[in-house]
Amino acid sequence: MDALRSMLLALDPYIIWSFRLVQDPWISFFLGIIFLNLVCVIMGDISSLLVRRMNRKVYGKYHDQMVRHHNLSVEALKHSDKEAYKAVNKQAHEAFGKYFFSQAGAFTLSIWPLPFALAWMELRFGGLPLTLPFSVPGVGDTVLYPFFFIPIYIAVRILYGRIMRRVPFYQRILAWAKHGDGTQMVSFAELFKPAPETIGQTAGKKDDPPSNSGREERP
């Protein structure tokens, strides 16, 4: 704990300035939280992308196995092969579990700066009541810093993702860290689509000329 406190105190001058940008205390407080959360999101995103890049072969293997077995299970259902469906679906669930936990690990790595930011906030604002200009039902008119910090972190993370995915440079970084061969999952909705031969037969029936049965031929 002493080491963590010493590290936070060393970082304090590089963080606290963002809480002193303007004279208004509330505006300054929110600007500081937004800046700190943005730094957390960027550092976490960089860490996550690097891990995805370094482990792209493993992640790609899990992803491709999951997609392949899922598609085979859908194909088995199309042919009403219950035994094949059960066997392939079991493998699909196993592959999904491996891929899910690998991606959960990558996501967890993306939020590693958040506990350190909260520790710094606790060092600076811990136990300090913040008086609201109005009373919130169930909360009152005084709150602590997590009341603002956590929602702002979520908002910053969402906006960061939406904005950065529109930036060409960031799109190249995402492609650099991409894993898998690009095969898409087949939707179960495919089961309800008519087969091509059925469509052809239906179209053929519609194109048949009208029958002259029941009519007398004129000389």
The model carries a pTM of 0.75
131 forms beta bridges with: 142
Number of structural domains (the chain) is: 1
Helices (H), 55-81: 56-78
Residue 180's pLDDT is what? 79
- For the cut 70, the answer to whether the pLDDT of residue 201 exceeds it is no
Residue 199's pLDDT is what? 47
Q: Does 188 fall in a domain?
A: yes
Q: Does 215 fall in a domain?
A: no
Residue 172's pLDDT is what? 92
Q: Does 217 fall in a domain?
A: no
Which residues have a Cβ under 8 Å from the Cβ of 116 and sit 6 or more positions away? 8
Instruction: Find the domain containing 51 and state its range.
Output: 2-207
Residue 140's pLDDT is what? 80
Which residues have a Cβ under 8 Å from the Cβ of 34 and sit 6 or more positions away? 152, 156
Q: Between 134 and 147, whose confidence is greater? A: 147
142 forms beta bridges with: 131
Q: Does 214 fall in a domain?
A: no
Mean pLDDT of the chain: 83
- How far apart are the C-alpha atoms of 167 and 160, rounded to whole Å? 11
Q: Does 45 fall in a domain?
A: yes
Which of 8, 37, 46, 42 has its CA nearest to residue 152? Answer: 37
Residue 105's pLDDT is what? 85
Q: Does residue 148 sit in helix, strand or coil? A: helix
Q: Does residue 131 sit in helix, strand or coil? A: strand
